[in-house]
Structure 1
Amino acid sequence: MRGLTVLHVVLFGLATPSLARTYDQYWNLPSLSYDYVIVGAGAAGNVIASRLSENSGISVLVIEAGPSDEGVTAAIAPLLAPTLTPNTPYDWNYTVAPQVGLNNRQFALPRGRLLGGSSSANYMVHHFGSSDDYDKLASLTGDNGWSWANMKKYIFKHEKIVPPNDGHDTTGQYIPANHGTTGMLSVSLPGNSQVIDAKVTAASQQLAAEFPYMNDTATPEKIIGIGWTQQSIGGGVRSSSSTSYLRSANSRPNLSVLINAQVTRLLPTGIENGKLAFRGVMFANGPNQIPGVVLAKKEVILSAGSIGTPQILLLSGIGPQADLQKLHILPLVDNPSVGDNLSDHVLLPNIYTVKGSDSLDGVFRDPAQFQTAMNTWTTSKKGPIANGVTNQLGFFRLPKNATIFSKGADPASGPKSAHWEMIVCNFWLNPGVALPANGSFLTFISALISPTSRGTVKLASSDPFDKPIIDPRMVTTDFDKFALREAVRAVKRFASASSWSDYIIAPYQTLAGTTDDEIDSHVRQLSSTVFHPVGTAAMSSSSSKGVVDSQLKVKGTAGLRVVDASVWPFLPSAHTQGPTYLVAERAADIIKSA
């Protein structure tokens, strides 16, 4: 996918509505004191900002480390999403520590660094996980408000299903009654048909016992099977938390947004009921820049994501006491769970060479084809650029009699949850590896959905502008190795369906292996991240474990909450933006009720 970069994509220039009350220098802010200060303008932060500012008597400030998304074409044109990360001004440009389970390789962990956060830079796949995920969350937190019976209502508040941009008949591709039509975020089915669409559907019919067709991939009560991808796209353009939640609130005089300001630490402001309050927020435009400080009269809400949130907590003296002391940071709240429990979905590209020129590789390789596609999108918001990277995907479970279950419990949230995912892409998609100069390709991504490997986010130093040490410790458990091995074998079975016989030529390079050792080597050589980190500020009902309670308050503190993907104690059976939006919607209700 990195082949797009050689086409010199223009990232700027597309006109979008201007953002109101957005500041890039803190001394221009209308105040240095607000009822709520939200750190991070990503999926969760913008939901909270929008919902809280509905009350005109409440003042809200959002602080975003990156720039505005306004006019950033690659954050608007869906298929250009992979050009936004890594190694751009719109990415935090993190690199994971050497992964012992993956040949000690290092690779990028993309995280959006602009208004909208990763919702402005991800690949826009949108669903909510399984109902089991929410019921497990309720069990772990001791709060039935997180159960699916309560959480399902937030889909209708959040989502606005819109027709796909090509206007095709969507009968049988999703269940309208299960989706919102008046919510904030536009969501649609694929808007550009591809030659492989019919082949995927036919393969699911030919191999129905293992790969059943799913008539709605975003219905949490039933997610196992393969079907049509739902994406945060409307009218051929990306729908992010910035273009939806934040933009809808732009005209409110009680909401201010500060961009290009990285929060460096939280400041203690006193003792309340025996707990240290953190209502001061320090930030700066960059290293060696004069810092600014704002105060929250009610609460500071950390929505900096699964990497940024634990980093800020640690820099503020909230975390493992011994680790903080080694870096000469004064420990204020000793909590060993901060930055612990990092979990991420593993991405494994399984690539085939294919016949003809029906893949999208020509668009990515040939500047003339790319320009034609861009012209179509610019004039009509149609064509391949108006679409995401995949039209079809599926979630699957290992067989009940899989030998791995004799060694330990099933790590999935429940019988309705997935062990692995298959994502079908009609082009070369191998993160960090350039598109070959010749050939056409088909990629079946295997994503490990219920990994048991856990890692950490730790500070490299006390300098807030030093990147943290991110070590997800991917594929370091027997279950993860087994599940990925079996996922590769399942992909091979799917690709052997007769519907592919006139298209697929052969497995590419390491995918050709058939033995356990050969497949394990394939996994170690090619696996990286779907960039869905969670868990580093996890919710729990325990007084000794976890970072936040069921109300998302940081344990041992006052005036401080966390609302982002880091509060999920485990990975849901979904690309994580959907579950993060739902958590944020409930969090807004919790905060309002307080």
Structure 2
Amino acid sequence: MVVGLASSATVVVVATILGSLCFIALSEDDQLEDLRFVRRAQDAPLVSSYNYIVIGGGTAGCPLAATLSEHSRVLLLERGGLPYRNMSNQQHFTDALADTSPSSPAQRFISEDGVVNARARVLGGGSCLNAGFYTRASNDYVQMAGWDPRLVNSSYRWVERARWCSGRCSGPDVPPWQAALRDALLEAGVTPDNGFTFDHVTGTKIGGTIFDGAGERHTAADFLRHARPGGLTVLLYATVSRVLFRRQDGVPYPVAYGVVFTDPLGVQHRVYLRDGAKNEVILSAGTLGSPQLLMLSGVGPQAHLEAHGVQALVDQPMVGQGVADNPMNSVFIPSPVPVALSLVQVVGITKMGSFIEGVSGSEFGIPVSDGARRFARSFGMFSPQTGQLGTLPPRQRTPEAMQRAAEAMRRLDRRAFRGGFILEKILGPVSSGHIELRSADPRANPAVTFNYFKEEEDLERCVHGIQTIEKVIQSRAFANFTYANASVESIFTDSANFPVNLLPRHINDSRTPEQYCKDTVMTIWHYHGGCQVGAVVDDDYRVFGVQRLRVIDSSTFKYSPGTNPQATVMMLGSCESSYPCRYMGVKIQAERWKK
């Protein structure tokens, strides 16, 4: 889940409070009283100036802003607010995703493919909403991206030394359901056994997590505790409408010189870059936000911009292109025994490029906490990640149809949801689509088309993943968590005894693996692209055709790194002043001090 989040009079106060922002029980007013460099947008001056303006306080934006604040004045603009208490614990994992209110930290959108999805709207971004899995990109990915392997590895190491990773970086405790999944994957031939590792390598492994031993979430916002308090200002509920450009004598391209943002009261504010050729605007607004803001600022396909009343400053047809989402398909495995709550810990990486993971939750039969019950109910019935458990093909997932499906799930006995999901996503993917503006309103979601399984290679990998899941279900290692008299076919089709995995119905009643992949496709929130390196930005993430503007976030990726991209997005901007681990942050600062 990419589908990036945040946490004073003194450095001590800032470091102490920011270190645990996501799980303190204070109101937002109380938190803002203590966080002197974090305030609401309506409290900002109408005009201000900074060395760097970072748009988006997410998984990349938070560590990047902290890095740049060491020697410069930095403004971090976040359109959401502070994380609330229930987002901090893994037992409340689905609460934010199930929140459909206008102020939800997970802003829901439905792709043109018909798949329900969400984008972060909170300080800290996707790391406040995801399942917490932590893994590095593969060596092949680093080489393909053209990154410096030494700097990449040192940046990863610092991320793993950070406070939120303490206690889990040496290997999390593995509950019985996850242990059975690990052994079943090995029995199914997903080898070798790689044990606990952050590395993305073929075989079965236990990955890292941003949840600590008490189940508390530690997010990208924790990096703000490394900021220089006098060098950083964070504004919440600041909706950026456009980047400002001007022409300069002797400069062939338009030059970014500031941004315009609107506060919750509807008042417009202007922020300018201070004089100096090295000062920059940096977009870290995510896969949807960064290309959307480029287009709203006049950088994008000219005809499309003019159709929405936006004056085209630079005709850049590749803005918004190459957008992809790793498709996820899941199978619910009903269990004869209660199953403890667990999020993603074990992953099987097949040689063909299918990634197998699992989550579980206990709903009936043993005393469990209210949080675990809520997890099982929301994950089983209400969570957008299940796509209503595949009861509706994507094109048929209208709000009314999904409501009927949800009501049908609510009527089922709770014991029907006792068990866990085994899910698979695919490498890449190869299939891609595009983002377009729906309107010139920066608060509105753009229209996004992912073109799931458009390329045959993606469909083949999905089928291989589903077949691997079938082997796991049939394995001896997983026998304690499956019904002895239930065949794999019955788990998919026997609606009387196993009503959760209801397959979509077709006129020809087609049940091929390929059709199953297409009909039950969901998101795993790892969407990326839209401002890809080589198409929209150069190797240093500078936007082609303009000056003093970069994009640093998942929109620059051609493929999703590793089994989960959050560690790699953090790596791009992370640093600590006493440790030479920075990647883009340190590169930008190095450029600043060059003669």
TM range (shorter): 0.7 to 0.9
Map of 1:264-413 to 2, 5 A cutoff?
264-271=241-248, 273-286=251-264, 289-297=266-274, 298-360=279-341, 389-398=343-352
**Counterpart pick for 1:44 among 45, 53, 60:** 60
Aligned to 1:551: 540
Per the TM alignment, residue 248 of structure 1 is displaced from its structure 2 partner at its CA by 3.2
1:125-180 Cα shifts (integer Å, max 9, x gaps): 11112100010111xxxxxxx04344222112222277999x8xxxxxxxxxxxxx
| 2:47–2:270 Cα contact (<8 Å) kept | no
- Structure 2 counterpart of 1:463: 441
Amino acid in the other structure paired with 2:179: A
Taking the aligned partners of 2:165 and 2:567, their CA distance within structure 1 comes to 19
User: In the alignment, which residue of structure 1 is the partner of 2:203?
Assistant: 225
What is the CA–CA distance in structure 1 between the aligned matches of 2:330 and 2:191, rounded to whole Å?
Answer: 19
1:522-533 pair list within 5 angstroms: 522-533=516-527
Matched residue pairs, number?
488
**Which residue does the alignment assign to 2:587?**
590
Stretch moving more, 498-507 or 566-575 = 498-507
Structure 1 CA distance, aligned partners of 2:128 and 2:286? Answer: 14
TM-score (norm 2): 0.77
Q: Aligned partners of 1:426, 1:27: CA distance in 2, in Å?
A: 44
> Which residue type is aligned with residue 527 of structure 2?
P
Alignment partner of 1:241 is 2:238 = no
Q: Distance in 2 between matches of 1:77 and 1:94?
A: 21
What SS class does the counterpart of residue 557 from structure 1 fall into?
coil
Does the CA-based 8 Å contact 1:310-1:536 persist in structure 2?
yes
Q: Is the 8 A contact 2:346 2:357 kept in 1?
A: yes
Residue type of the partner of 1:83? D
Contact 1:285/1:291, CA 8 A, preserved across alignment: yes
Structure 1: give runs of 5+ residues left out of the alignment: 1-10, 100-105, 139-145, 168-185, 361-387, 399-418, 541-545
Q: Could you give the per-residue CA deviations for residues 60-91 of structure 1, whole angstroms, max 9, x where no partner exists?
A: 1100000112xx12221123122112524343
SS of residue matched to 1:233: coil
Q: Pick from 359, 368, 386 the counterpart of residue 431 of structure 1.
A: 386
- Counterpart pick for 1:422 among 356, 370, 375: 356
Partner of 1:173: none
1:129 is aligned to 2:142: no
Find the aligned partners of 1:512 and 1:492 in 2 and give their Cα distance: 16
- Consecutive unaligned residues in structure 2, runs of 5 or more: 1-21, 362-375, 380-384, 389-405, 494-500, 504-508, 575-582
SS in 1 for 2:540: coil
By how many angstroms is 1:359 displaced? 4.6
CA contact 2:186–2:204 (8 Å) conserved in 1? no
Equivalent residue of 2:472, what SS?
A: helix
Moved more, 439-448 or 304-313: 439-448
1:213 maps to which residue?
193
1:94: Cα distance to partner? 3.5
Aligned position for 1:574: 563
CA, structure 1 residues 318+163, in 2 after alignment: closer, same or farther (shift >3 Å)? closer
Aligned partners of 1:19 and 1:247 also within 8 Å:
no
For the residue of structure 2 that corresponds to 1:474, the secondary structure is coil
Separation in 1, partners of 2:564, 2:123: 20
SS at match of 1:532: coil
Identity across the alignment (%):
22
Q: What is the CA–CA distance in structure 2 between the aligned matches of 1:24 and 1:274, rounded to whole Å?
A: 37
3-state DSSP class of the match of 2:512?
Answer: helix
Secondary structure of 1:393's counterpart equals strand
Q: Which residue of 1 aligns with 2:149?
A: 148
- Give the whole-Å Cα distance in 1 for the aligned partners of 2:164 and 2:570: 21
Q: CA offset at residue 523 of structure 1?
A: 1.7
Supply the distance in 2 between the matched residues of 1:256 and 1:163 (Cα, whole angstroms).
23
- 1:330 CA drift (Å): 0.6
- Would the alpha carbon gap of residues 63 and 268 (structure 1) be closer, same or farther in structure 2, given more than 3 Å must change? same
Question: What amino acid is the match of 1:518?
Answer: T
SS of the aligned residue for 1:330 comes to coil
Q: Does 1:479 align with 2:457?
A: yes
Q: Distance in 1 between matches of 2:449 and 2:294?
A: 18
Quote how far apart the aligned CAs of 1:30 are.
Answer: 10
